[in-house]
Amino acid sequence: MAYEDEYDDYEEELRSDRRRRLQLYLLIMLLACGIGLGVLWNRIVITVQSGEAGVLYRWLSGTELSRIYGEGLHIIWPWNKMNIYNVRLQTKERNYTMLTRDGLPVDLQIAVRYQPDVRLLPLLHVTVGPDYLEKIVFPETEAVLRRSVGQYTPEQVYTSKRGFLETVVVRSLTSVEDRYVIVDDVLVRNVELPAAVRLAIENKLTLSEQEKAYTYRLQIEQKEAERKVIEAEGIKKYQNIVKQSLTEDLLRWQGVQATKDLASSPNSKTVVIGSGKDGLPLILGSDR
């Protein structure tokens, strides 16, 4: 009996040891899983923020071309990778030094307003990648600018004549949109020429504006002279007409009428009756 009791105690001790080992293994596994989950959390739980879109790369099958991951929470396997793009309208600036038609350098500060085409985002990721701004937008814009600036003189670039900005915008849109990127606008923020060239152009523009002002003033003076000539001709014609209608009998009759009206007027008057050529009265003054 003693032997059986010792055997039972030994079996119980073995079972208890197995339970402790199993609990230890489970604890170690839970800790390992917790540590692994903590380390891989950012690769498993993916949050796509507002104004962003994601493209998933699967380790076994490559980039998923048929789906674009929108805003929200996404759970993926840790061996896959979510590539997130900013799909909002963005503006970036870049400085370029170009040569004009005359071979003179001109510094341009260019602002490009762009955004990736969300509908073609997987293709953009496969063909170009996240660095599409430096690989597509700026190089294409620079190429268009070099071709455009090379067709103009420094003055035309400086004053933006002949639709220079519009030409750059249209050509940039055509060149870049074929690469899965939408260019909303291309703006020339600043144009810098060599100091001597800039001063010469500014002096020329100043003289041109002064010439326009003088021309305008001459036109005004010419119009005023024409107006005075027309006015003088009208006065001359009026006087000739009046002169032709005035006769001695008419003047005498007008004098008689004036004397009659004066005599019948209730106001007090001082009148000298003389024996002039026509025998008409001379009015020296009147009082009320």
pLDDT digit string, tens, across residues 248-285: 666 666 666 666 666 666 665 555 555 555 555 555 45
Q: At 90, is the secondary structure helix, strand, or coil?
A: strand
Lowest mean pLDDT among 83-92, 162-171, 236-245: 162-171
Structure tokens, 129: 């990648």
Handedness of CA 120, 125, 127, 133 (dihedral sign): positive
Confidence of residue 84 (pLDDT cuts 50, 70, 90): very high
Structure tokens, 233: 């001709």
Beta-bridge partner residues of 86: 52
d(CA 196, CA 192): 11
pLDDT digit string, tens, across residues 6-16: 656 667 777 77
- Contact (Cβ atoms closer than 8 angstroms) between residue 140 and residue 176: yes
pLDDT digit string, tens, across residues 105-163: 888 888 888 999 999 999 999 999 999 999 888 888 888 888 888 888 777 776 765 46
- Contact (Cβ atoms closer than 8 angstroms) between residue 172 and residue 204: no
- Exposed e or buried b per residue across 212-242, where buried means at least 16 C-beta atoms within 10 angstroms of its C-beta: eeeeeeeeeeeeeeeeeeeeeeeeeeeeeee
Contacts of residue 140, defined as CB under 8 A and 6 or more positions apart, other chains included, come to 172, 175, 176, 179
- Contact (Cβ atoms closer than 8 angstroms) between residue 157 and residue 111: no
pLDDT digit string, tens, across residues 175-194: 677 778 888 888 888 777 76
d(CA 134, CA 112): 12
d(CA 104, CA 150): 10
pLDDT digit string, tens, across residues 19-44: 888 878 888 888 877 777 676 777 88
Confidence of residue 288 (pLDDT cuts 50, 70, 90): very low
